[in-house]
Structures are given as structure tokens and as C-alpha cells.
Amino acid sequence: MVSSEAAIRKPLPFDAARLDRLLDEAGIDVLLATSKHNVQYLLGGYRFFFFDIMDAIGISRYLPILVYRKGKLDAAAYVGCAMENFERELGKFWPPTLSLGDTGSVAAMRQAVAHIKKLGNGIRRIGVELAFLPADAEAALRQGLPNVDIVDAVLPLERLRARKTPEEAACLREASNRVVAAMLATFRQCKPGAAKQEIAETLRREEVNRGLVFDYCLLTAGSSLNRAPSEQRLAAGDILSLDSGGNYKGYIGDLCRMGILGKPDAELQDLLGFVDEVQQATRKPIKAGARGGDIIALGEKMVAGSPHARYAHYVAHGMGLVSHEAPRLMNISRLSYTASDADRPLEAGMVISIETTIAHPKRGFVKLEDTVLVTSDGHEALGDGGRGWNRIGD
């Protein structure tokens, strides 16, 4: 271990008192954060540039670990790799103890265990991110500390991240605005005969040119409901949906907008009009103190009572460093989570993605997805442009 100055030099990037309360509720004495998103959050936006995309190296993987003992900031440590000494020289780390040595999941965990052993007695439960902890690292943790309980700490970390700071909200605002701008630019460049793969590549370039990291593009064309990039080509009169995630400094802009090659007829106007009606109506109750589950109940009621009930659905979920993060307002088994926050009040700073979809058997896929920031007296829509029928090629 390499110790830095005894005092913590940088402003703490998270609410330590809130984290302590959440860990106390979970009965956790020491937290080991190992996911890139939680390490980034706890370190105030830091992601090591060398492993920003990949993790694998040699026969193991890069595994950053933030060690945090409840109530004792001066006992925190960060475990990284030797190349992160470049970042240490730039003052990127607040934890008083740094271990920037061998790369590998087992090597990193052994360094974390060595630090925990120096923290003294009273450590009975260690919280880890079970879904983000390699099996060999967990084995090294259990071997090194055989007399402690290992429990999952995902929920307290989710609750900690749920309220975005003004700086985080600014990142989400930028991500959302830039994704929508990239979509509108892509619509303008599309032409009859363009393949869906070409359209997805155009969107990727437009997002990258706006300083985003391109995550994905789900897209449909014509009456097809297939959302994968393919050799399917645009034809006159086709509608086109672009549903994309692009992130800015790790924060995800996740939105969906519609385009059309030609002019929308009355039925298409009605379909997108209904989608927009649901989107607008379910925004209205969003404010600090409102019950999160009420948003879902309203959206589902509107869909169920519509002529489109057979092929329409409504979803709302949290957004931030992770897609579908807290607040969790619905039971979504395909994503392995339940509505743990449905009965809890919304808090200022939470960010919610709301999406209404019509998978029409004859007219195709019609969808809007919007991102909404909860404020103390209401809400703010992020990236709210281009929500109607965008003319392709115009």
C-alpha cells in the first residue's frame, strides 16, 4: 500500500453521511465497490482511460476496488494498477491510501484484503457487488477473510446514486441533448435505399462527433418490428425509429425519436399522437414527494383503455450511469429486478426514462422515449426536441 497525505485533500464527491446510513441499514461494516460505474461515482467521475472500454488483459482482468469502512473516511483505500500512478501524479484520487500495483482480479483483491486486515477489529460483514465481482476475486476475498460474512451491497449503492448532483444532472442533460441532435442529423442524411446498418453507422458517427461514447442503436424501418441493424433498406413511405444510448462522461442519454420518408397519413399521426399523449400525461405527476408507482399506474391505465391496448406498452425506469438504475418503479423480470421503489417518494435529483411503444402489426414500430429530471417543484425534460414525425432527408 502507498499512503498519500494523512488528510483527505479533495472534496468528497458523494454524501458520506447518506452512504453510512445506507450501509448501517444493510448491516455492512466495509464496502468493496468493484463495478466501473460505482467506482466512478465514489471517486467523483474518475475512470481509468486505459481500461475505459476493455477489462481483459493477459489471463486476467483489470479490477478497480474502492474500499470504504463505514463512518471512517480516513480508512478508505483505492486499489488500481501500476499505470494509474500517472493519474495519482495528477491528483485524481481522494482516498488516503492507494495501492497501485499488479494488474489482475486476484492480485487486486489480495491488496484489498491486506488493507482490510489493517483496519482492526469489529468488521463482521463486507458488502460487495455480487454481479460485478469475478469468481476468482470472491474466492480470494473469502480465503483471506474467512471469518466475515460476504453480502450483496448493490441496493445501498443504487440508493446512494439515485439522487443526482447538479453536476451529474448537467452530464445527463448534455447526453440527452446530444443524442437527440445526432438523431435529427441522421434523419436528414437518410435516403431511399439506405440499409439499416448504414443508418446505425451514421448515428454512431453523429454521436461520436458530438463528444459522446456510442452505446447502441435499436432501429426499425417500415412495418417490420425487428430492431436489429440489418441489410433491410428504406423505401418510400417507410417510418423509421431510432432508439439509442450515447453517454457523456459515463452518463447515459437514452431516447427514441421517429422519422418518416414522406408525409405521415392520418393513422400514423394518430398513433404517434397517442404515444405523445401518454408521455405528456405521465410526466405531469413527476415531482419530489410524489409516489413513484403512480407514474406507472397512470401510464398502464392509459394504454389499457386505448384502442391500441393489444400492441402497446408503457415503461418507466431510472437513468444515470446505468440504464434501468434506481428508482425502480416496475417489476421487470427480463431485467431481473422488482419495483423496490414504487411505494417510495420521488426525490429531487432522480432521473426517470419514460417510454411508450406501439408495435403495430401493420404500420410498424412507433415509440417515444424521454428523460425527465425530478425537481423540488416538478420536473425538467432533458433532450426534448424532435418528438414529432421528423421528415427523412429534409
pLDDT over 70 percentage in the chain: 97
The C-alpha cell that represents 26 in the structure block: 444493510
Residues 6+ apart with CB under 8 A from 92: 43, 46
- CA 7, CA 94: separation in Å to the nearest integer? 9
The yes-or-no verdict on residue 9 having pLDDT over 90 is no
Q: Which three cell numbers stand for residue 260?
A: 418518416
Q: How far apart are CA 118 and CA 121, in angstroms?
A: 9
Q: Check: CATH 3.40.350.10 for 2-162?
A: yes
DSSP 280: H
Q: What is the mean pLDDT of residues 328-345?
A: 94
Helix, coil or strand: residue 178: helix
338: left (phi over 0), alpha (psi -120 to 50) or beta: beta
Q: What angle do CA 282, 287, 291 make, to 5 degrees?
A: 75
- Please say if the pLDDT value at position 6 is more than 90: no
Nearest to 272 by CA among 364, 206, 188, 190: 364
Beta-strand relationship, 72-81 and 97-101: parallel
Predicted pLDDT of residue 363: 97
Q: Taking 90 as the threshold, does the pLDDT of residue 7 lie above it? A: no
Could you write out the DSSP letters of every residue in 74-110? Answer: EEEEEEEEGGGHHHHHTT---SSEEEEE--SHHHHHH
Q: How do residues 284-314 score in pLDDT, each as one tens digit?
A: 999 999 999 999 999 999 999 999 999 999 9
- The answer to whether 52 and 64 have CB atoms below 8 angstroms apart is no
Q: What is the pLDDT of residue 222?
A: 97
Please report the pLDDT score of residue 5 as a whole number.
Answer: 41
CATH topology of domain 166-391: Creatine Amidinohydrolase (3.90.230)
Measured CA distances, 385 to 137, 182, 191 (Å)? 45, 11, 22
The larger pLDDT score, comparing residue 76 to residue 8, is at 76
Name which of 355, 327, 323 is nearest 343 in CA terms. Answer: 327
To the nearest whole percent, how much of the chain has pLDDT over 90? 94
Which pLDDT belongs to residue 120? Answer: 87
**Residue located via cell numbers 440527452:** 176
Q: How much is the average pLDDT of 311-330?
A: 96
Task: Give the integer Cα–Cα distance in Å for 41 and 364.
Answer: 39
60 forms beta bridges with 57
Phi-psi region of 286 (alpha: psi -120 to 50; beta: other; left: phi over 0): beta
Helix (H, G, I), strand (E, B) or coil at 267: helix
Write out the three cell numbers for 43.
471517486
Q: Would the pLDDT of 128 be above 80?
A: yes
DSSP, res 11: P
Q: Collapse the DSSP code of 361 into the 3-class scheme (helix H, G, I; strand E, B; otherwise coil) and give the result.
A: coil
Is residue 150 pLDDT above 50, yes or no? yes
pLDDT confidence tier of residue 381, bands split at 50, 70 and 90: very high
Each domain of the chain, given as residue ranges in start order, spans: 2-162, 166-391
Q: Which three cell numbers stand for residue 329?
A: 418503479
The Cα–Cα gap between 296 and 1 comes to 49
* 322 vs 252: CA distance, rounded Å: 7
Q: pLDDT tens-digit profile of 206-260?
A: 999 999 999 999 999 999 999 999 999 999 999 999 999 999 999 999 999 999 9
Average pLDDT, the chain: 95
Measured in degrees and rounded to the nearest 5, phi and psi for residue 87 equal -70, -35
Residue 386 gets the label, from left (phi > 0), alpha (psi -120 to 50) or beta, of left
Residue range 81-121, pLDDT digits in tens: 999 999 999 999 999 999 999 999 999 999 999 999 999 88
Is the pLDDT at 4 greater than 50, yes or no? no
Label residue 309 exposed, middle or buried (CB < 10 Å: 0-12, 13-18, 19+): exposed
pLDDT band at 376 (very low <50, low <70, confident <90, very high): very high
The H or E element that residue 263 is part of is none
pLDDT computed for residue 10 by the predictor: 67
Name the E strands within the chain: 2-3, 30-33, 56-57, 60-61, 65-69, 72-81, 97-101, 125-128, 149-152, 213-221, 239-248, 251-260, 312-318, 351-360, 364-375, 378-382, 389-391
Distance (Å) of CA 179 to CA 43, 186, 248, 351, 389: 26, 10, 10, 16, 17
pLDDT above 80 (res 2): no
